[in-house]
Chains A and B, each alone.
Chain A
Amino acid sequence: MRSLSLFAAAFLAMLVAGTASPVQAQAVSQPVETGNAVSQLVAEQAGIAPGETIRIGLYQELREGWHVYWMNPGDSGLPLEIDWTLPEGFETGDIQYPLPHRIPLGPLVNFGHEGTPLFMIDLTAPADAAPGQTVSLSADATWLICADICIPESATLSLSLPVVAEPAGADPAGAALFAEGDTHMPEQGGLEAAWYDLGGKPVLELSGDIDPQAEIFFFPAAISVVEPAAEQQVVGIDDGVRLFLQPSFDYDPAALDVLDGVVTIGERGIAIAAAQTGAPAGVTPPDAATPSEAANAAPAASATAPASSASRNLFAILGLAFLGGIILNVMPCVFPVIFIKAASLAHSAQEKRATIVRHGFIYTAGILVAFLAIAGLLLALRAGGEQIGWGFHLQSPVTVAVFAIVIFLVGLNLAGLFEIGTSVQGVGTGLAAKGGNSGAFFTGLLAVAVAAPCIGPFLGVPVGFALSAQQPAIVGLLVFAVMGLGLALPYLLISLIPGIAKALPRPGAWMEVFKQVLSFAMFATLVWLIWTLTLQAGTDGLVLVLIALLLTGFAAWAFGLSQRSTGSGARLFARVLALAAIGGGLYVLAGITPQLRTADYVASAPGEGDLSKLPTVAYSEATLEELRAAGTPVFIDFTAAWCVTCQVNKQTVLTRQQVVSQFHEKGVVYMVADWTVQDPEITRALEAQGRSGVPLYLFYAPGASEAQVLPQVLSFDIMRETFSVL
């Protein structure tokens, strides 16, 4: 009877335990609220057997918009810390973190968790733990929780856990949390990983089940080894991907045998421990990829840069492109062309608003068509493997000669030798409107054509970005289109806003004089183009272009004569003469052939002991390697005769005596990479710096692993500061 009542009491006790709410179940601690988080200790099993290892964890419900940190918190923040007080013989393992997320904060990036993270910890009971007792586990947990501001929080949590003879089975409340938590833990294994050092930077190679379309990112477990906010360039290889990482200050290839962490591929996360290997032959960072390698990597089509940083970059680049486009309007080679248009607008200030607005849009369309045609041509040529970059059209002496003729014609027109478009005397109004449309379009095309040589300093970065191999073609076209909108903007505003057009000075006799003055800006541009051509094609080319210009001048005069002549026979004769002259000029141009000109630089190098000139050598990869290996500081001037900024820097800074003497004092070699004509070796070197045009100034200090990139506009201070490390 007595044993029966004992049995009944035990049965009742079991019933009570079984119907108790989960919160009061033994394997879950009381939740503790700390302001921005609610924290609990939880266990997966309802009890622990002697010698058994079970999973327990810290479960947190974070306030909406707040985050806590992964084991490597990234640029700021602190990871969770737990200080355990355990019964005799019990042991806990390391904290196992759920998959981290990137949390950007301005220029910084943190790695952390939002929502309801479960941090799992292994708990092992001693083999001699006595079943039947209930042990108490106590955790002093501290964590930093941040939204845009940060608050350190802490809680003391305790969990009571029965020691049972046999494994207890799942705890109803705890097991559900662990089942959910497991879906957020990194997969163990599944990827082959190795890493190697390449020129002082870590490169991670992954192979296995990788979706090449997904976004791929490596979260390093160790702090200060890989820069958290730096872009990770992903390049597809045969059976996986290669990630080019940026080292942080604690990166030491000699001490870093294993690079471990978590790789996320889209929504998946996989833990990796990459062993260090030797760098395979022929690997180059994506920026410096040789054409053949870029071609090999392209079919894999997995070069997916992290979208967020890429799009942020894109906006900055588009902003620059727009600004650069606006500034082009006031460049000496462009301004006269724009002025023709503004002048014709002032003429038409009394015309119908609709016509003025239409002209504004047609002009914009002309600019866009020209820019997109150039961009399309560049991109198509590059896709075909051509080693070309911005300004390529000026690398051909024939193109330079054609530009010279166009500029000369514009100058002669401004000077009044002949007229074009709406201002032709005696043409009916219907025709004038029509002429105005095509005239506006042509002005747009011409503005881009004459703008090309002036693009250097402002648009180097956006153009380099647009043409880089990592960008889809559509992004490249977008950059050029935005640049075109910038160029078109001032005129477009004049045509759209009546007030501006009204504020323009009244047309009158003064305008003819002003146009004539502006013609000299064109003739000055002409002088420079002819000089460029002489460097490209020598005196033979010079003679030919001068003959072509002579014929052009004659053609312009004959055309002007035809406009002023009254007899229809005389007019026809003058026009035939003009056509014949221009045809002859073009025929002459075809005879111009480029001459390679590296020899000029060797010739211009100073003799022994001559300190008045820069210690000049011509650029070659081999020479550069030799000089760097010998510990000689090298300054590389990537230049071109047709690049205005390059010439300004050369005349106002580089060839000045105070700079020249610094080169000699500090023993710096002045290496000239002349891009006036096509040179694949130089194009490659520019691409390695993410550029596709000149100027570019690089400085290699003795022993430096990388070049220092100098600003595109040089000054004495910049040069002094650069050389101050010597």
Chain B
Amino acid sequence: MKVLFASVATLTLGIGAAFAAPEIGAPAPAFTGTTTSGDTVSLADLAGEKVILEWTNHDCPFVKKHYDAGNMQMTQEAAAGNGYTWLTIISSAPGKQGHVSADMADDLTETRSASPAHVILDESGEIGTAYAAKTTPHMYIIDEDGTLVYAGGIDSIPSADQADIEKAENYVLAAMANIEAGEPVATPQSQPYGCSVKY
């Protein structure tokens, strides 16, 4: 009965809360997801760690732009070097573009030489909705206190053209540099660009 009570209450709230973006400077929305290895990982487990969330869809041209050019992998390595836990999240619904099995997701990580700490399969779109993830890629940075400090695009030039990467400012690298220097994040929010998340 209690479980029923709680789940119905949650459902009620889910409807009540629209697709609303989380607030920068506020605690990042809690979530629990299943990784490709079948483990669950939750934001609460990562308390005290800096976390980066990357929404992805391997077939999206904007994702390809950053992976084919090595930009996303470079950003992941820089994040790992700075002690971040990088979570790649796939919110594509079954049957939609970018939806993959756990094995396929691991394969993609390997073939693309990516280095996320975990890839989370969010086919219900629950985590995506909690963060109002709109595009692939869409990036979020959570600091050690669990506060959301950045949400937006990977960089400053919205295009699918690899040639733009070196002209653009990588907002994730910039935010990490700000955090490292103990400064507030200079660009805490930007317009994410890319394909829509395939909920």
Contacts and interface: CB of A to CB of B under 8 A. Distances in A.
B19 interface: yes
Contacts of B8: 323-324, 327, 457-458
Contacts of B151: 249
A250 B27 CA distance: 20
Interface residues on B, range: 35 or more
Contact of A75 (B10, B159, B196): B196
B88 to A, nearest CB: 18
A725 B147 CA distance: 10
B97 A725 contact: no
B160 A107 contact: no
B24 interface: yes
Interface string B87-99: 0000000001100
Given A75-B135, A224-B191, A461-B15, A149 B59 contact: yes
Interface stretch (A235-243, A403-411, A705-713): A705-713
A324 B7 CA distance: 12
Contact of A461 (B10, B16, B60, B199): B16
A108 B197 contact: yes
B127 to A, nearest CB: 13
A12 to B, nearest CB: 48
Interface stretch (A140-148, A386-394, A426-434): A140-148
A325 to B, nearest CB: 12
Nearest to A229: B19
Contact of B15 (A144, A249, A320): A320
B1 interface: yes
Interface string B182-199: 000000010111111111
A725 B21 contact: no
B15 A316 contact: yes
Interface string B1-18: 100111011111101101
Most buried by B among A224, A249, A323, A457: A249
A721 B129 contact: no
B9 A457 contact: yes
B12 A460 contact: yes
Given A107-B19, A108-B197, A713-B5, A721 B11 contact: no
A345 B16 CA distance: 39
B27 A724 contact: yes
Given A75-B134, A223-B191, A457-B5, A105 B15 contact: no
Interface string B124-148: 0100010010110000000000000
Contacts of B59: 149
Contacts of A323: 8, 11
The majority secondary structure among interface residues of chain B is loop
A77 interface: yes
Nearest to B196: A76
B193 A230 contact: no
A106 B27 CA distance: 26
Contacts of B18: 230-231
B24 A249 contact: yes
B161 interface: yes
A151 interface: yes
B196 A108 contact: yes
Interface string A81-93: 1000000000000
A78 interface: yes
Contacts of A110: 196
Contacts of A668: none
A317 interface: yes
B78 interface: no
A458 B194 contact: no
Given A320-B15, A461-B16, A148 B5 contact: no
Interface in B28-66: 59-62
Given A317-B15, A461-B15, A106 B160 contact: no
A250 B190 CA distance: 8
A76 B15 contact: no
B158 interface: yes
Contact of B96 (A78, A148, A229, A320): A148
A437 B3 CA distance: 37
A266 interface: no
A149 B160 CA distance: 14
A142 B161 CA distance: 10
Interface in A98-124: 105-108, 110
Interface residues of A, number: 45
A420 interface: no
A330 interface: yes
Nearest to B198: A148
Nearest to B19: A107
A250 B191 contact: yes
Nearest to B57: A149
A320 B196 contact: no
B168 interface: no
A102 to B, nearest CB: 13
B69 interface: no
A152 interface: yes
Contacts of A248: 21
B108 interface: no
Interface in A210-240: 223-224, 227, 229-231
Contacts of B21: 227, 248-249
A320 B12 contact: yes
A230 B134 CA distance: 13
Contacts of A144: 160
Nearest to B125: A106
B159 to A, nearest CB: 7
Contacts of A146: 195-196
A106 B199 contact: yes
B104 interface: no
Contacts of A317: 15
A150 interface: yes
A149 B198 CA distance: 8
B189 A249 contact: yes
A148 B196 CA distance: 8
Contacts of B196: 75-77, 105-106, 108, 110, 146, 150
A149 B135 contact: no
B11 A76 contact: no
Most buried by B among A76, A148, A323, A712: A76
Nearest to A75: B134
Nearest to A72: B191
Contact of B9 (A76, A227, A249, A712): A712
A230 B20 CA distance: 9
Interface string B60-77: 111000000000000000
Interface in A699-720: 709, 711-713
Contacts of A106: 125, 196-199
Interface of B: 1, 4-6, 8-13, 15-16, 18-19, 21, 24, 26-27, 59-62, 96-97, 125, 129, 132, 134-135, 151, 158-161, 189, 191-199
5 contacts: A76-B196, A78-B159, A107-B19, A107-B132, A709-B16
Given A76-B194, A249-B21, A330-B1, 11 more contacts: A76-B196, A106-B125, A106-B198, A152-B61, A152-B161, A231-B18, A249-B24, A323-B8, A711-B13, A712-B12, A712-B13
Nearest 10 pairs of A and B residues by beta carbon? A106-B199, A152-B160, A76-B196, A107-B19, A713-B9, A150-B195, A76-B135, A249-B189, A75-B134, A149-B97
